[in-house]
Amino acid sequence: MRTEQKSVKDCIDEHHSACRVCGAPATRFFLNVEGLDYHRCDRCEATVLDPAQWLSAETEYAHYLNHENNVADTAYRRFLSRLVDPLLENLAAGREGLDYGCGPGPALAHMLSEAGHSVSLFDPFFFPDQALLGRWYDFITCTEAIEHFHHPAEDFARFERMLRPGGWLAIMTSFQGDDDHFAGWYYRRDPTHVIFYREETLRHIARSFGWSCKFPVKDVALMQKPLE
């Protein structure tokens, strides 16, 4: 796999936009992989694919149509249980939640409904009911979704507004590992994945809102908005 490092002069001359995750005033060039440019935020440690190289909305939508999220698939349910199980341990009975970025097959919401919770669905392509974004929830789930966000700072600020005091934000994404493995990382190769997070990235986001943050299992984060 071809990778390139730019010279110091190239990095100085190149325009760097603000971090889309934490709002830091600038990011720096990190790596070029097969013609794709990735930038790094030194404040929150997020890695961002150059927005000029993101897919069009039409191509992105076509890619999502190939996803198979069958709630009857035992292996898929086992995968989702890595988030569902620790979240359920922290929820009282009969809570109201939102599956944000649920995709075409909302299997996660089905599993939470089986446990006695009410779950609404929002996805900009498949369940685009904007009215749901003006309500309050006891929990919000984002399973394999935040890596697709084009404006994550805005999305996390929206979660802050929508969560009731004491509410939970449950996230599943594949966290970045060593930089030496980034070029060959399977998660990077998905063309709809445009922002990549470390655990520290999510800790930074949680601190910015005054939320607690814990990682019950690999690639899962639970954040809680404090009680007022």
- Domains of the chain: which residue ranges? 3-224
Q: What is the pLDDT of residue 18?
A: 95
Q: What is the pLDDT of residue 1?
A: 44
The residue-averaged pLDDT of 47-53 equals: 98
Q: Please determine, for residue 164, whether its predicted confidence score (pLDDT) is greater than 90.
A: yes
Amino acid identity at 116: G
Q: What is the pLDDT of residue 163?
A: 98
Instruction: Specify the CATH architecture of the domain 3-224.
Output: 3-Layer(aba) Sandwich (3.40)
CA–CA separation, 50 and 152 (whole Å) = 15
Average of per-residue pLDDT values in the chain: 92
pLDDT digits (tens, 9 = 90+) for 75-103: 999 999 999 999 999 999 999 999 999 99
H or E stretch at 13: helix 8-13
pLDDT digits (tens, 9 = 90+) for 10-43: 443 344 689 999 999 999 999 999 999 999 999 9
Choice between 79 and 69, residue whose per-residue pLDDT is larger: 79
CA–CA separation, 96 and 173 (whole Å) = 23
Q: Please determine, for residue 69, whether its predicted confidence score (pLDDT) is greater than 80.
A: no
- Alpha-carbon dihedral of residues 103, 108, 114, 116, nearest 10 degrees? -100
